[in-house]
Structure 1
Amino acid sequence: MSSDEGGIDWDDAYANAAHIAGADAYPPRWAAAAAAFRAGARGETDLPYGDHPRQRFDIFLPAGRALGLAVFVHGGYWLRFDKSVWSHLAAGPLARGWAVAMPSYRLAPEVPIAAITADIAAALPVMARLVPGPLALAGHSAGGHLVARMLCADVGLPRAVAERLARVVPISPVSDLRPLLRTRMNDSFRLDDAAARAESPVCHAPRLGVPVTVWVGADERPVFLDQARWLAEAWPGTDLHIAPGLHHFDVIEGLTRPDSPLTEAVIGPGAGG
């Protein structure tokens, strides 16, 4: 299947950096902000949830008793990055009294996307044991896919964990993986139609009773606006928030601020102060 089937260049359609001014500056800026944040944060880093070197997580703790645990799952098309680049995104929920955990996970092409989903499902019970109370999940891009997958019945979270889920916020998620079959990235994913369908949240019914807000930037690539809309339409009762003036790289920055609408979407209105 060619990347320009139907007149659409699917590789370009799913390329973010090529359409964001100064895109190359974002990853080093994120990494520097994350390192500075960790230098002054309470908590622990590199805690294991499995045997692989990437099956590790960091946890950041508020000054007092935590109101709950917010989990942030990073993106990078399941191909790149790790938890160390995003620590500063804990600042918003942390200032509101929530603990924040951030896992790394194995990457493609070493493992298929289904195994990455399994990594997050394995990490959640380990992280949840460290902090009582509600669990709020947020993830960006591929991480948005992964937190949405945690609501799908086939993932099989332990009941004690699933019953604590209070909110899930997929940020600019990839909710339907089938279009990626048309991209060169699939050389690494090795998806066929059946595997793409199995890993697509839009093809699963979500766990009932957990509020979901799909968050996406108004200035993102059209396919990411589509992906956000598809998930909101597939899961009845899901809120769709299109953040004006934001693109795929800055849509997550609200998590650095305790009073931002994004932070409030993750931990809930009026939670913490």
Structure 2
Amino acid sequence: MPVNDDAYANAAHIPDGASYPARWAQDAAAFRDALGTRAQTGLRYGPSPRQTFDLFQPEGAPKGTLIFVHGGFWRMLSPQDWSHLAAGAVARGWAVAMPGYELCPDVRIAGITRSIAQAVQVIAGQTDGPLALAGHSAGGHQVARMCAPGMLPGDVAARVRHVMPISPLSDLEPLLLTSMNDDFQMDAAMAQAESPMYQPKPQCDVTVWVGGAERPAFLDQARWLAEAWGCAHHIAADKHHFDVVDPLGETDSAMLDILLG
């Protein structure tokens, strides 16, 4: 076993961890059904079948748009597993967009970054008002990458109010020593180029969020990014990697207070 496999294994260290994906999918489907025509799915932003986004609208004109990028170590899951996390922002009057992306090993992580940048641009072109970006795990890596200079057009970047990488991967070099790199096919130069902690400090507000009960490697990854960027760093007591993101789905949560303002 490569030296860092266990360090980045989450399900094995969470009680009943293997049950979470099925529960997420069930909750997500129930949310979409309940939202009815205010749930638009499979909107295209690129030519690949996975280059689509789902858009959830509030009642009335949106105050802005939250873009949420899902995790799964760039290798698994889809936006349809996370729809229920839109509930909190939608109840607060925000639209929520959830883009998908092609997965490794079909593409490299840099290709996913380019896809998400394209998705953000398309979503921004179809919505009005401020933008907030949040992402979980590999999705946290992705929204952090959107803060890199020139990643987004100036007019889109100017609309970004807050970025929240949740349990992000900020330094990809440790992942070179995992079996997952068989899918990533990274070398050291590629890992450094895609590591947000080596980017300049962003111009927008950023809060790095992580669960206090996460694997030490994820606590390190969050701390490294917060220290590199000199940004806010919140450790949610008793939350693990699979439930740390739940407050996005809650109408009254400190996470949304910070993210949406």
**Please, what TM-score do these two structures have when normalized by structure 1?**
0.93
3-state SS of paired residue (2:142): helix
Matched residue type, 1:65: A
Are the aligned partners of 1:75 and 1:141 in contact in 2 as well (CA < 8 Å)?
Answer: yes
Match for residue 73 of structure 2 among 68, 71, 77: 77
1:132 aligns with 2:125: no
CA displacement 1:168-226 (0-9 Å, x = unmatched): 00000000000001111001101101000000000111331x11000000000000000
Deviations 1:230-250 (A, max 9, x none): 0000002x1000000100000
5 Å-filtered alignment, 1:111-130, equals: 111-130=107-126
Q: 2:146 aligned to 144, 150, 160, which one?
A: 150
- Once the two structures are superposed, the pairs formed by residues 140-179 of structure 1 within 5 Å of their partners are 140-153=136-149, 155=151, 157-179=152-174
Provide the aligned length of Structure 1 versus Structure 2: 259
Percent identity for Structure 1 against Structure 2: 57
In the alignment, which of 5, 22, 27 is matched to residue 11 of structure 1?
A: 5
Write out aligned runs for 1:115-264 (5 A): 115-153=111-149, 155=151, 157-208=152-203, 210-236=204-230, 238-264=231-257
Q: State the distance in 2 between where 1:184 and 1:194 align.
A: 18
Whole-angstrom CA distance in 2 between matches of 1:207 and 1:19: 33
How big is the alpha-carbon RMSD for the aligned residues of Structure 1 and Structure 2? 0.9
Amino acid at match of 1:27: P
Q: TM-score, normalised by structure 2?
A: 0.97
Q: CA deviation at 1:265?
A: 2.2
Query: Which stretches of structure 1, 4 residues or longer, exceed 3 Å deviation after superposition?
Result: none
| Aligned amino acid, residue 32 of structure 2 | R
Does structure 2 conserve the Cα–Cα contact (< 8 Å) formed by 1:153 and 1:206?
A: no
Kindly state the Cα deviation for residue 154 of structure 1 after the two structures are TM-superposed: 5.0
SS in 2 for 1:131: coil
Q: What one-letter code is carried by the residue in structure 1 that aligns with 2:157? A: A
Q: Which residue of 2 aligns with 1:34?
A: 28
Gaps of 5+ in 1: 5-9, 269-273
Distance in 2 (CA, whole Å) between partners of 1:195 and 1:154 is: 18
Contact 2:55 2:95 in 1 (8 A): yes
Contact persistence 2:175–2:181 (CA under 8 A): yes
Q: For the residues of structure 2 that align with 1:154 and 1:191, how far apart are their CA atoms?
A: 23
Unpaired stretches in structure 2, ≥5 consecutive residues: none
User: Does the CA-based 8 Å contact 1:16-1:248 persist in structure 2?
Assistant: yes
